[in-house]
Structures are given as C-alpha cells and as structure tokens.
Amino acid sequence: MDRWLCSKLYSTVVQCERGFAAYKLHAVTAALFSFWVHSLCDVYVEFMKPLLRPQEEGPLLQMSSEHRDVEEARRMACGVLYHCVSVCLTLLSPFMPFISEELWQRVRPLGPGAAGPSLCLEPFPHSAQLAHWHFPEEERDFPLVQEVIRVARSLRAQCGLTSEKPEMWVVCSPSQAHVLRHFASAVWTLSRISNLHICCPEGGEGLVSLSSTPPPKGSLVGVVDHTCQLHLHVQSGMNVDRQMLQLSQRKDKLLPKLEEILRRTRSPQYLQKVPEHVRQQMESKMSALQQEVRNIEEQLKVLQEAQTAE
C-alpha cells in the first residue's frame, strides 16, 4: 500500500507538470483533487486507521508482511503520510496559498527533518526527484483490488451485515489471485471481512500456498468481472426479495447492451467494414456481458431456492 500511494503521488506530479506546461490549470486541480480525496483519504487513510489506533490492531497487522513490529509500521505509515501531504500542499499552494500555508505550518513540526519557515520557500516538486517512487505494476494492479472491495461492501450491505465481518470466497484467474494475495491486508481492512478464501479453478504456477477451498453452495455471488466473482454465504434473516430485485434490475440493464452488440455483429458486411481490433474489443465485451448475465441468473436461482427453503 505504501508503494502504491507513493507511485500515485509520482503520477500526480507528472500530471501536474503536463497541465502546467499546456496551461491547462483545470487538469492540474483535477489531478490534485483525485489524489487527495480518492487515493489518500478514501483508500490509504482508511486502510491505516486500524494501525494508527492502538485499540484496533486487527487484520492489518496480522496480514502485513512488510512490517516487523507495530511501532515500525506506525512510523512508516506516518512517514508516508507526511511525505504525501507535504508534497500535495506544495502543489496546492499556487491555487490555495493561504489555506495550504496554514495546513503546512501545522504539519511541519511532524516532519523528520528541518523544514523552512514558510511553504512559499519550499522547492516545488518535480517528477524527476520522485522517480524512485514510481511502481507502475502497483498502479496497474490496484484497480482490481478496489473493484473487489466495492463488490464486497455491496454484498455486505445487501445482506444487512453492517457491523459483522463475514468470511468471503473469491473465484478468479491465477493472475488475479496473485494480485489479491499481494494486497490481501487492504482487501481485509477496507472490505471489513474476517477472511478472504482465494479459489483458482484454473490452477497455475506458484499458487500452492493459496487456498483452493471452493465457496459453499448457496452462496450469494457478486460479479467483479467475467473472470472474478465474490461469494458470500447466504445468512438467515437476509432480505432475499430486495437482493432479487436488485439483481433483476441489473440484468434488465445488461440485456439491452448485449442485444445491441449482437445486432452490430450480425449486421451485413460487419467483417468487411469493421477493423479487426474493433471486432476483438466487441467480442471481448460481448463475452463479458454474457458471463455476467449467466452469473446473475445463477445467483437468482440460488436466492429463489433460499426463499423456498424459508
């Protein structure tokens, strides 16, 4: 997570440099807003709360393989936060000079080294100075983690699990399994689950240590994409009717999209007029939609059986 956030900061600085060079100030402010709100606050701060609160040393510390002890982990987290906040405030200073200065004066005493008396005297960040913080593989893989977290939260909300931390199962491809194992502590903490069982039907090299326990029958399924699904065992007292309604509405939205793609692919001279790379994209999208519709139909069948059993 530290590597991901620092890499996002590097990418933000690059976007700001390009925006300034092209005189597109709206692009600069959009990049800063996206990093500050969606990366720093929504993800990293929420992820680090159990670590920074001594009374909540839960899954984050149990799962973390990057830190040897709690104090070292806290020092590292505070250092990353200070680094990101100080750089962001410097980037913000041309747009919000007074607020950024006030915040920087409060943050400055928390820094590891001596800082200048004013934010105005601090050197402006350059991407070349932060190139060692660039980890493209972390940025490439993390959107999958965010989508898994979103689906897990949705499943918990649909089942009315507001305070409980249930177990979940994920069925995915080998490459997705490696990503989820790498960011396991983030998935546990931000999804508010007690455990994530990773099942990889396709197998693959290097997956011996991964759990191969299949999800229990009658589980509620959340679709991440056409190769990754989350499973939550149906609990007693769950609002089955509400879940079935939401799934039916989702299916009703997908079917017109699928029909439109089928109509295009079946049109005369489709093979002659449409470039090959566009046809491949259409086929991939059609396959993903068909798989999601099948998953929804299977989920509706499971819920109907659970409703009948009640």
**Chain segment 140-163, per-residue pLDDT in tens:** 999 999 999 988 888 787 666 777
CA 70 from centroid of its chain's CA atoms:
25
Question: How crowded is the C-beta side of 26, counted as CA atoms within 13 Å?
Answer: 0
Write the pLDDT tens digit of every residue in 120-142: 888 889 989 889 989 999 999 99
For range 88-117, the mean pLDDT: 85
pTM over 0.95: no
Q: Which of 116, 75, 82, 90 is nearest to 12 (CA)?
A: 90
Q: How confident is the model at residue 68 (pLDDT cuts 50, 70, 90)?
A: low
Is residue 165 scored above 70 in pLDDT?
A: yes
Is residue 113 scored above 70 in pLDDT?
A: no
**Strand ranges of the sheet holding 228-233, from the earlier edge strand across to the other edge:** 195-199, 167-171, 228-233, 219-225
Q: How confident is the model at residue 63 (pLDDT cuts 50, 70, 90)?
A: very low
Q: How confident is the model at residue 214 (pLDDT cuts 50, 70, 90)?
A: confident
Distance CA 244, CA 246 (A): 5
Q: How confident is the model at residue 209 (pLDDT cuts 50, 70, 90)?
A: very low
Q: How confident is the model at residue 211 (pLDDT cuts 50, 70, 90)?
A: low
Give Cα separations from 241 to 158, 233, 295 (angstroms). Answer: 10, 16, 18
Is residue 36 scored above 80 in pLDDT?
A: yes
Give Cα separations from 100 to 28, 80, 110, 117, 281 (angstroms). Answer: 16, 19, 16, 14, 45
Amino acid 14: pLDDT:
94
Is residue 304 scored above 90 in pLDDT?
A: no
- Among left, alpha and beta (phi > 0; psi -120 to 50; other), residue 23 is left
Q: Looking at per-residue confidence, does 276 or 310 come out higher?
A: 276
Q: What are phi and psi of 173, to 5 degrees?
A: -80, 165
Angle, helices 2-21/136-158, rounded to nearest 10 degrees: 110
Amino acid 239: pLDDT:
66
Distance CA 26, CA 36 (A): 15
85's enclosing H/E stretch is helix 70-92
Q: How confident is the model at residue 225 (pLDDT cuts 50, 70, 90)?
A: confident
CB 255 within 8 A of CB 293: yes
For range 2-30, the mean pLDDT: 93
E-assigned strands of 148-293? 167-171, 195-199, 219-225, 228-233
**Encoded tokens for 224:** 């991440």
